[in-house]
Structure 1
Amino acid sequence: MKYPKVYIVILNYNNWTDTIECLESVLRNDYPNYQVIVVDNKSPNNSMEYLKAWAEGKLDVWVNPAITLRGLTFPPLPKPIPYVFYFKEEAEKGGNLELENRLVNSIPPEITSKYPIVFIQSRHNLGFAGGNNIAIKYVLSKGDFDSIILLNNDTVVRKNSISELMNIKKKYGDKAIYSGRIFYYHDPQKIWYDGGHFNEWIGRTKHLNMGKYLHEIKNEPKVEEVIFITFCFVLIPKFILQKVGLLDESYFMYVEDLDYSYRVWKSGYKLYHVKSSEIWHKVGASSGEEEISEFSAYWMMRNRVKFIISKLALSKKLISLLLLTASRPIKFVQYYIRGNKFIISAQIKGFIDGIGKN
């Protein structure tokens, strides 16, 4: 097919207003063959009912007129937008294809997808990996796709973001995963992620060009090979899913993207960063807190240690853990001075649990 089918997977936990804004941007993208899946990770705030109400046209969409990116999501798309709803167990068996097919011809013409939205309700909060895996199992059961895109719900996309990824994927092939350039939502010219590096000797990832403004980036190639991709925005072809498998649910939150990137890399496949595919990210919104919080401090430390112990070669494992341990006293003093004592206890607990979970 000239335009093979892509599934765009959006995971929601409580932040249904962000998810609606994300959907309003995604459903305008110019790639002509895609279907959207929204998985609600058992939100305690009744998120799924709000999402259904939005699709049915019973809930107004509001976007702050002062937001620079308002044009990506406003005015609101016409409603109702057809959808199907599944619980986890039905979705993982491939859903109801007959029902989905009946809804294909009822999509408003302003919406660029010809398929109904698929809403899936998880029975439990399964974390980032577990929630996304529900959608991946649904897609694999249907089998009618070329690639999936995992997209954070606290993002908005440019109209051509998906097309740019798919054009490069068509050129470079199925034996790779792909990412795009990610900006800060509240500072739209400032880069958050522009490709990623991973240092096995210190067990840390790095976002390239993080904190730089777009006008500061000169003469860089359109596509770069990298060794770490953030799963805030990632395209994974069917081939990779079949060879590498699902996301590792033991991480719950954070580092699952490093784990998957590393598995892809170590399997001999490629990771490509596509700078012409651009989205904007409300950094920190997916956890409902600031980027540095007790929640994130615990899970980042716990999963970093877990990854180091479970994935790295012995020499790199020992050096990474030694450097991590040696750096803590200085870090803890800084946290204490800044009044962030809770981060100290969270990281200590995370370190201990990271060792114990292997």
Structure 2
Amino acid sequence: MSIMPRVAIIILNWNGWTDTVQCIRSVHQLSNADYDIVLVDNRSTDRSIENIRRFCEGTDEAEPADDTPIHLFELSEGEADRCRPDLSTYHQLDPRRRLILIKNNENYGYARGNNIGIRFALDILTSEYILILNNDVILNDREVLNKLVES
């Protein structure tokens, strides 16, 4: 049995926390055991970060998290870009119970916002593959990551 390569899933959010939560839920249904979700918030003004926190804590009645709470690792844009955060606890958690949130200083648009997450995934998480998902994507195939890395 071969070891699956590490995949970073980059999701960019801007004022769309409801879609983002649904996207995260669909990612958590994947069968691949070695992935990371890097959620990049492009300076939302609709309380997205607060609502995503509540979802992760399991305290949002409208969007409760499944099973146990999700450990949210929040980083400012500067922390994600200029330092090596201590992710020892992060790596011990099941991928379905962890989420990295990078909070951008401003809305950089689609390309630059995603590039911040990609750079973090490559430099800090040492991901072998990157999958960029729009926040309104719902994954219906539990094997999609396996199929992508096999091709």
Same-fold call, TM cutoff 0.5: yes
- Residue in structure 1 matching 2:89, options 92, 102, 126: 102
SS at match of 1:119: strand
**Greater RCO (Cα-Cα under 8 Å, separation 6 or more):** 2
Aligned match of 1:117? 99
Q: Which amino acid aligns with 1:77?
A: D
* Larger-Rg structure: 1
How far apart in 2 are the matches of 1:114 and 1:94?
Answer: 25
Q: How much identity, in percent, do the aligned residues show?
A: 30
SS at match of 2:138: strand
Q: Deviations over 1:270-305 (max 9, x none)?
A: xxxxxxxxxxxxxxxxxxxxxxxxxxxxxxxxxxxx
Aligned match of 1:149? 131
Alignment of 1:162 onto 2:135: no
1:23-102 aligned within 5 A:
23-62=24-63, 76-93=65-82, 95-96=84-85, 98=86, 100-102=87-89
SS at match of 1:78: coil
Q: Which has the higher helix share?
A: 1
How far apart in 1 are the matches of 2:80 and 2:111?
Answer: 16
Q: Deviations over 1:27-62 (max 9, x none)?
A: 110112100010110011121111111001111345
Q: Which runs of 5+ in 1 are unaligned?
A: 63-74, 108-112, 169-358
How far apart in 1 are the matches of 2:8 and 2:76?
Answer: 18
**Aligned-pair RMSD on alpha carbons?**
2.0
How far apart in 1 are the matches of 2:96 and 2:28?
Answer: 10
TM-score scaled by length of structure 1? 0.39
SS at match of 2:82: coil
Aligned match of 1:110? none
1:256-295 aligned within 5 A:
none
TM-score scaled by length of structure 2? 0.89
Q: Is the 8 A contact 2:72 2:98 kept in 1?
A: yes
